[in-house]
Structure 1
Amino acid sequence: MARTTPHDRPLTTAQPLYWRIATALLDELRDGTVPPGGRLPGERQLAEHFGVSRETVRQALEVLRHSGLVATDRRGSHATLSGPPVETAASLTFPIGARPTSPGAVDLATVAWEAPPPEHAEALGLAPHCPTLVHRYESAGADGRGRRTAVTSFSAVALAEVAELARYRDRARDTGSAQLRRAYDWMRRAGLTLHHRDAITRLPGAPSVRVTRRVHDQHARPLEITDLVVDAQQDALVYEFTLPAAG
Structure 2
Amino acid sequence: MARTTPHDHPHEAGTPLYRRIARELLDELRGGAIPPGERLPGERQLAEHFGVSRETVRQALRMLRRDGLVATDRRGSHAALPGPPSRTPASPGFPVGARSAVRCAADRATVAWETPPPGHAEALGAAPARPTLVHRYWSVSADGRELRTAVTSFSAVALAEVGELARYRDRADGAAAAELRRAYDWMRRAGLTLHHRDTITRIAGTPSVRVTRRVHDQFARPLEITELLVDAQQDALVYEFTVPAAV
TM-score bucket of the superposed structures, by smaller chain: 0.5 to 0.7
Cα deviation per residue 1:101-138 (whole Å; 9 max; x = unaligned)?
944x3201010000001200110011111110000111
CA deviation after TM superposition for structure 1 residue 234, in Å: 7.2
Distance in 2, Cα, partners of 1:145 & 1:188: 35
In 2 relative to 1, CA 88–148 (structure 1 residues): closer, same or farther, beyond 3 Å? farther
Q: Is the 8 A contact 1:110 1:176 kept in 2?
A: yes
Percent of residue pairs bearing the same amino acid type: 74
Deviation at 1:171, TM superposition (A): 1.2
Partner of 2:139: 139
Q: Residue 94 of structure 1 aligns with which residue?
A: 94
Instruction: Give the whole-Å Cα distance in 2 for the aligned partners of 1:222 and 1:199.
Output: 16
What letter matches 1:167 in structure 2?
R
- What is the match of residue 219 of structure 1? 219
Structure 1 runs of 4+ aligned residues shifted over 2 Å read 100-103, 173-176, 231-235
How far residue 144 of structure 1 moved from its aligned partner, in angstroms, is 1.4
Superposed CA deviations along residues 179-227 of structure 1, whole A, max 9, x for unmatched, are 1000000000000000000000100111111000000000000000000
* Aligned pairs (5 A) from 1:118-137: 118-137=118-137
Unaligned 5+ runs, structure 1: 1-86, 236-247
Give the TM-score of the pair, scaled to structure 2.
0.56
CA RMSD between the two structures: 2.2
- 1:209 corresponds in structure 2 to 209
1:143 Cα deviation from its structure 2 partner: 2.1
Does 2:157 correspond to 1:157? yes
Q: Which residue of 2 aligns with 1:167?
A: 167
**Quick one: distance in 1 between partners of 2:174 and 2:149?**
22
Separation (CA, whole Å) in 2 of partners of 1:156 and 1:220: 14
C-alpha separation in 1, matches of 2:89 and 2:98: 13
C-alpha distance in structure 2 between counterparts of 1:174 and 1:202, whole Å: 29
Q: Count residues with an aligned counterpart.
A: 147
- Residues 111, 174 of structure 2: 8 Å contact kept: no
Tell me the equivalent position of 1:193.
Answer: 193
Unaligned runs of 5+ in 2: 1-87, 238-247
| Aligned residue type for 1:216 | H
- Return the alpha-carbon distance in structure 2 between the equivalents of residues 189 and 127 of structure 1: 28
Q: Secondary structure at the match of 2:146?
A: coil
Asked if 1 retains the 8 angstrom alpha-carbon contact of 2:120 and 2:153, the reply is: yes
Query: Which structure's CA Rg is the greater one?
Result: 2
Looking at structure 1, the residues matched to 133 and 230 of structure 2 have their Cα atoms a distance apart, in angstroms, of: 23
1:194–1:186: structure 2 CA closer, same or farther, 3 Å change rule? Answer: same
Deviation at 1:139, TM superposition (A): 0.6
1:98 Cα deviation from its structure 2 partner: 1.1
Distance 2:182 2:174 in 1: 21
Q: Which has the higher contact order (CA 8 A, sep 6+)?
A: 2
Q: 8 Å contact 1:192–1:217 — kept in the other structure?
A: yes
Aligned residue for 2:134, secondary structure, equals strand
CA distance in 2, matches of 1:163, 1:108: 23
Question: Contact 2:212–2:226 at 8 Å: present in 1 too?
Answer: yes
Give 1:165 deviation, angstroms.
Answer: 0.1
Q: Using structure 1 for the length normalisation, give the TM-score.
A: 0.56
